[in-house]
Amino acid sequence: MTIPKDRLDLEAFGAFAQDWPAWREEAEDVPSDMPDAELLVSLTRHRPTWELLLTSVAYLLADPRKEAESDASMDEAEMRGRITELADALGSPAGERSVPGFAAIASRVATLPYAELLAGAPRLFSLLEGTSVAAVRGLMRHIYCKQRYPKGGAQYRQCLLSGN
Handedness of CA 127, 117, 143, 140 (dihedral sign): negative
Q: Which of 84, 89, 80, 83 is nearest to 150 (CA)?
A: 89
How far apart, in whole angstroms, are the C-alpha atoms of residue 63 and residue 74?
A: 9
Q: Where are the beta strands (DSSP E) in the chain?
A: none
Q: What is the pTM of this model?
A: 0.47
Do 110 and 14 contact (CB within 8 A), yes or no?
no
Sequence ranges of the domains in the chain: 10-65+76-162
CA distances from 153 to 84, 86, 91 (A): 16, 19, 15
**Tens-place pLDDT, residues 102-159:** 777 777 777 877 677 666 666 655 555 544 445 555 666 666 676 677 777 788 778 7
Q: What is the mean pLDDT of the chain?
A: 60
